[in-house]
Amino acid sequence: MSVTTTALAPWSTSSSAPAEARPQLTFDLDVEVCVVGGGIAGLLVALEAARHGASVAVLESHQVAWNASGHHLGTVRPGFGGDIADLIARVGRDHAGRLWQLTRGGADHIRAMAAEMSDVALTDGVLDVANTDIGDRLAGRLQLLERFGADVEGWPVERVRETLKTPRYFQAVHYPGAFHLHALNFTRELVSLAEQAGVRIFEQTPVISIDAAGLRKRIVTPLARMRASSIVLAGNVHLGSLFQRLSRTLLPVWRYAAVTEPLGDSLASAIDYRGAVVGSAGVDHYRIVDGDRLLWAGPVTTWNGNPRRFASRVERHIRSVFPQLSGVKVADIWSGATGETVHGMPQIGQLRHGFWVASGFGGQGLATSAMAAQLIAGAMFSSDDRWRLFSPFELVWAGGPAGRVAGQLVYSWWRGQAELAGAFARYRERAGKRERQRDARLAAASRAVRPTALRPTASASQDVRPPQPAAAQRADGNLAGS
């Protein structure tokens, strides 16, 4: 499977630390651990293995962080990309809780590393907003997350709309301990940490073949050969024909992101929150960067589209969410190819002795990549078998070209359903408000009319006598005539 990606985004590169080229592997080399893939997952595995005292080499076919790893929104929070209820339905509450705890450890690990870095712009807070009214389910969701050890708080509709000045959102789950950072700067700083720990990183060094049999595995590159006790495949969809058993289980997905032109004071009229905002239906994902710009996630495709074609679409969507930003313009937009699995969980485990996989992180978030690195390094050097918690999520064929078509249809259908559900929820809210206003007007009118009907008029109250029998009336007449 051949996968290509667009050039690096100008905003990402212009706002990041300078890049330093690494050499190509031109000589034979023996190491304990060979990591294939120089994205975030591969670099984290290499760093963890080196911190266990192993000799480690990373082989990257292009440049470090050239693809999605260095050009995403940089949101870090516990959990996986899918719905926690689906995970519980598959593996049970206890098993799901242990998996969720692992992602919490991954998020803490990234925070600890980011504390050692400069220019990563770490900012706290992630707000998971609902585009439908989940008031009757919010408490249960919070209780479940708290049982898993999450630091969360529920926000009612009023607070959400005071913070995000739009009627599109209802309740929200706030993760005050989650955070976001500058993805490309973090990845480049991660390279420095790995090299300080003794990792050797080789760029422009594609792997031609792997012989994973035996205690010492063999890796062939265009100009040199390598031997290693352990190999970790962390290349996602870019592995192509190198290891088709893995690459065929990944659906290639291009995720797009855009940065707007500076919005100035108008941004404050729309957003009063410096953390990342994530729509629970997967429709919205954005945050403020550079003080008055928006970094906004665009559409998702299963083909490599031209990002500029989606710029106007992103602009229209921002205006639909925040009409007060009517003049918004996209300054830069880019894409990155990720690999996503059929079961919606990352692929973490051992394919055969000493042959590991850390893959399928598309849509999962940075915490899962850090978690995978900890699990694999722990298994290689500390007899940690927690990676077996991912055994239920096997390598499942993604369907090839037909799977890509089906995947695009599923993404489009899901997004359409989410937007339709949100529109219907807002319609019901408006209809309910109109009905309450009508009831209030009727009640006020009733209160105004009822006392008037019961109160006697002034003329009638001057001489009011009870009705009398006919005989009494005649007697009165005789008296009056005399």
Reply yes or no on whether the pLDDT at 174 is more than 60: yes
| Alpha-carbon span 109 to 76, nearest angstrom | 11
**What would the pLDDT profile of 438-478 be if each residue is shown by its tens digit?**
888 888 888 888 655 445 544 444 444 555 554 444 434 34
Q: What local confidence, expressed as pLDDT, does residue 13 receive?
A: 58
Beta-strand pair 56-59/29-36:
parallel
**What would the pLDDT profile of 77-112 be if each residue is shown by its tens digit?**
999 988 888 999 999 999 999 999 999 999 999 999
CATH topology of domain 10-398: FAD/NAD(P)-binding domain (3.50.50)
Q: What local confidence, expressed as pLDDT, does residue 6 receive?
A: 43
Average pLDDT over every residue of 277-289: 88
CA-based nearest residue to 405, from 263, 302, 474, 333: 302
Reply yes or no on whether the pLDDT at 338 is more than 80: yes
CA-based nearest residue to 299, from 259, 254, 332: 254
| CA torsion, ordered 253, 233, 179, 259, to nearest 10 deg | -40
Tokens of 24: 């190509």
Reply yes or no on whether the pLDDT at 397 is more than 50: yes
Which of 132-136, 152-156, 277-281 is least confident? 277-281
pLDDT band, very low/low/confident/very high, at 161 (cuts 50, 70, 90): very high
41 in helix, strand or coil? helix
**What would the pLDDT profile of 51-71 be if each residue is shown by its tens digit?**
999 999 999 999 998 888 877
pLDDT band, very low/low/confident/very high, at 281 (cuts 50, 70, 90): low
Please report, for the chain, the start and end positions of each structural domain, with discontinuous segments joined by +.
Answer: 10-398
Residue with tokens 């659906």: 251
Which of 1-5, 180-184, 254-258, 372-376 is least confident? 1-5
Q: What local confidence, expressed as pLDDT, does residue 133 receive?
A: 93
Reply yes or no on whether the pLDDT at 384 is more than 70: yes
* Average pLDDT taken over every residue of the chain: 87
Q: What local confidence, expressed as pLDDT, does residue 79 receive?
A: 93
Which of 313-317, 375-379, 446-450 is least confident? 446-450
Average pLDDT over every residue of 218-224: 96
pLDDT band, very low/low/confident/very high, at 285 (cuts 50, 70, 90): very high
Q: What local confidence, expressed as pLDDT, does residue 70 receive?
A: 76
Q: What local confidence, expressed as pLDDT, does residue 456 receive?
A: 53
| Alpha-carbon span 261 to 355, nearest angstrom | 46
Reply yes or no on whether the pLDDT at 34 is more than 80: yes
Q: Residue 253: CA atoms inside 13 Å, Cβ hemisphere, count?
A: 27
Q: What local confidence, expressed as pLDDT, does residue 14 receive?
A: 58
